[in-house]
Amino acid sequence: MKQNLALFDLDNTLLAGDSDYSWSLFLISEGLLDAKTHHDRNEQFYLDYKNGCLNITEFLKFQLKPLSQHSKKFLDELHLKYMQKIIRPMMTQKAQDLVDKHKQAGDLCVVITATNSFVTKPIATAYGIEHLIGSDPEMVNGEYTGGVTGVPTYKEGKVIRINQWLEARGQQLSDFKTSYFYSDSHNDLPLMKLVTDPVAVDADEILTAYAKQQGWPQISLR
């Protein structure tokens, strides 16, 4: 029997909140970022994302800079606190049940997110999903530089990255009889249009309207 593919967006899809946006607020609350300068830019980037006009290069430069200012060891310890305090309350039972359903069916499960993989890998792991495709922070000698490597996983970038990832496994999207992609955001339409079974999850207005027009299923994981 052929295996199916289940792709999950993370922020505001599996999570009832945004891990990227919340990470910045968490760093501010920990006294590691200047509240005033950082808060306003964080808000603007979040608004740009929602409006579909985010400059992903500028955003990643902004978001990854703090990683270059601390050791990997310190950041990993900090992330444990972030998981407990901020992320665990955003993880819903409905989202976990959906992931479990796909895993029990033997589907290949992947989280694919624009958020950087330092922030998101432990979250995917907490859901029991082994595979994560995120925007990858650059590392030199085991420490973060503040740069990014490869194509950011945003809009058409998600299509490029999933194709690259499957190719490295000797596979392609068309190998799967059924491919699911769960997302809340119209930014994910390039990839949603390519899978056999796109599902709108607690979707934004643009995606809701498009899903309705196309007859795509719409669900809530809240």
* The two structure tokens encoding residue 132: 């994560």
* Maximum Cα interatomic distance, the chain, rounded to a whole number of Å: 55
* The two structure tokens encoding residue 182: 């769960």
> Is 9 considered catalytic here?
yes
Contact at 8 Å (CB) between 110 and 131? yes
Choosing from 11, 107, 136, 202, the catalytic residue is 11
Q: Is 131 helix (H, G, I), strand (E, B) or coil?
A: strand
Q: Is 32 helix (H, G, I), strand (E, B) or coil?
A: coil
**CA proximity to 118, closest of 154, 84, 146, 159:** 146
CB-CB neighbours of 52 under 10 Å:
13
CA distance 89 to 129: 18
Percentage helix, strand, coil for the chain under 3-state DSSP, each rounded to 5: 55, 20, 25
Contact at 8 Å (CB) between 203 and 184? yes
Contact at 8 Å (CB) between 4 and 180? yes
Which positions are catalytic? 9, 11
